[in-house]
Structure 1
Amino acid sequence: DFTLEELKSLRVKQRYSFRDQQYNGKFSIITFEEFISIALDAPRVVGIYPEIKNPVFINQRVKWSNGKKFEDIFVETLKKYGYEGSYLSKKWLKQPAFIQSFAPTSLTYISNQTDLPKIFLIDDTTIPTQDTNQSFWEITSDHYLDYIKEYVVGIGPWKDNLVTASNNYLQTPTDLVARAHAHNFQVHPYTFRNENQFLHFNFSEDPYNEYDYWIKKIGVDGLFTDFTGSLHRYQEWTSPFLSSEKDAYNLLDKIVAMIFKVQAHLVLFFT
């Protein structure tokens, strides 16, 4: 019920009181296209992971011309900016993008419009799907995974659905990751946060221990995090490729330094 101009008059505020509040009121809400431009204007390849958010609610209240739906506008916007290609294809690697949604009908609907990889988000065990009213147990059954794999490349479950917790201690992992991998699915759980309020006691208040557990022990393929810097730092610390790359740069620096040193001696010799 608001125009874009009216929405732009609002200012963003940090919702968690225990996080940095110094930017409250300084920034306006950005549009989807403005979000995309941030990635495209970067000096390197930056992927995006947009969500088709609450499509049932939006389609009930917003009517587009020519009978289009929210999902149509969403895909058209991605295509407008060159996002296309199946997972790991040359086109996709040029401008990587995953599409995520809690609504399975949205994911099946857009499957005929774009071959971009799609991730089916899975809510808490007590919350049914917003569009089909299916239970957690139904949508995580092998039968349903067989069905949905025709449309998605993976699932994005709430992390406590993969490993339940009791008194803030993690319990025995469920078999959902193993079954998802058996269906050749990616598994991208959410949401990882650095603050102690969100860390289980198993990790001794260390988010890097949490990353290590989920990536190495549970075997997930990706993570949703509020703290991309810490996850990137973990990746730098643990990736053999990045370590080798660093070693190569260090070696190159040493070679350059040696060359300059030799040149300096030659200059002194001939002077």
Structure 2
Amino acid sequence: MKDPALFEQTRQHLLAVCYRMLGSLAEAEDAVQETWLRYDRTDTTDVANIPGWLTTVAGRVCLDMLRSRTSRREDALDDTARERRGEDHDPAAEAELAESVGLAMMVVLDALAPAERLAFVLHDMFAVPFDDIAPIVDRNPAATRQLASRARRRVQGAPLQPAPEAARKREVVDAFLTAAREGQFERLLEILDPDVVCRGDALASLRGGPDTIGRRAVAERFNGTAQAARSLLVDGEFHAVVAPYGRMLLVLRFTVVDGLVTEIEAVMDPESLARMEFAAGTA
């Protein structure tokens, strides 16, 4: 029987690793629990570095969980709701973890293949040697290094510094989202062009309804909503995204002319979302 105190000393570290791998506090806690179970039933007498061993075990658990995910991207909202109803769910802890990673980074990590994500997270974020990561992903150290390198290029590949006009656009998008969340109807009217149009792709229209035209109609549609939306650099411009736990569900593409929103396009199609570039470090 293992001493639980030794495991508890590494629990927060393991939780941080698993959260970056899985993007969900509930799933990360499940992974940490599974790591404990594997630790408890394994003879670690000859293991010199228990924290390092636990980290690699947690990585293997997370990799298995990532590979076994079968839910479609558009079902993640339902997963989010279920997690929020969980008796043990801690919104404050979730928010703290999310803040420590950043929305943009979680979005980019979610787009990586499971093995790439593991190699990048363990090596670049937690300094685990490639020799220790290689057995987890069934590759040699050189191939594992290439996995991390490909992931690194994707994380760093999006433009990190927006153009000045993009920064000005962000002010408008942020003002719109703030007014929407806080139910500031008159403020929404001030931000919207008189002939503003809100439209969506086929999936967004199916879920959100038909096109909305005109300042007052669009303001009524968004007033008191957008609680989960945040501005993010998408394809070099600031738009609004809904990405619980880093899982991209919706992009609201804003067209801004002379400081007023003239069009809002809702994009939910998974293939369209997969083609977009999200800049890490801009959340």
Q: Which has the higher strand share?
A: 2
What TM-score do the two structures reach when normalised by structure 2?
0.21
What TM-score do the two structures reach when normalised by structure 1?
0.22
Q: Which has the larger radius of gyration?
A: 1
Q: Which has the higher helix share?
A: 2
